[in-house]
Amino acid sequence: MNIKGEFFLSKKPILDQYKKVFAHKLILKNKEDKPLTSNEFAKILANLRFDKLFGRHKLFVPIMPDLLTHEVLDYINEKKFVFILDEDLLDK
């Protein structure tokens, strides 16, 4: 799977009670500033080296609900990622 197209990756640190970085909230969007489709997101999860980008920190990632059944989840480090259903990404 190759990553095609443009996307933006941003991170927001999540601090513990000692104000040290505990994790990061990871945001991925397309060039129109819209959430990525589940297939685009899956390609990025499968191809990016998150350990190189974020080191030992956990990643909290807002996702679309259909990504929860995508096969790419079988190949990611489950100790590294915490998927959250972001209400901004849900159909209203």
Q: Phi first, then psi: what are they for 5, rounded to 5°?
A: 90, 180
Q: What's the pLDDT score for residue 4?
A: 59
The tens place of each residue's pLDDT in the chain, 92 residues long, gives: 445 567 888 889 999 999 999 999 988 887 787 777 778 887 887 777 777 777 888 999 888 788 888 888 887 888 888 888 866 656 64
Report pTM.
0.74
- Collapsing DSSP to helix, strand or coil, 81 comes out as strand
Q: What's the pLDDT score for residue 86?
A: 65
Q: What's the pLDDT score for residue 90?
A: 61
Q: What's the pLDDT score for residue 53?
A: 76
Q: Are 43 and 50 in contact (CB under 8 A)?
A: no
At a CB cut-off of 8 Å and minimum separation 6, what does 52 contact?
none
What residue type is 6 in one-letter code?
Answer: E
Q: What's the pLDDT score for residue 1?
A: 45
Instruction: Enumerate the domain spans of the chain.
Output: 7-89
Tokens 């350990």 correspond to: 51
What residue type is 17 in one-letter code?
Answer: Q
Q: Are 31 and 12 in contact (CB under 8 A)?
A: no
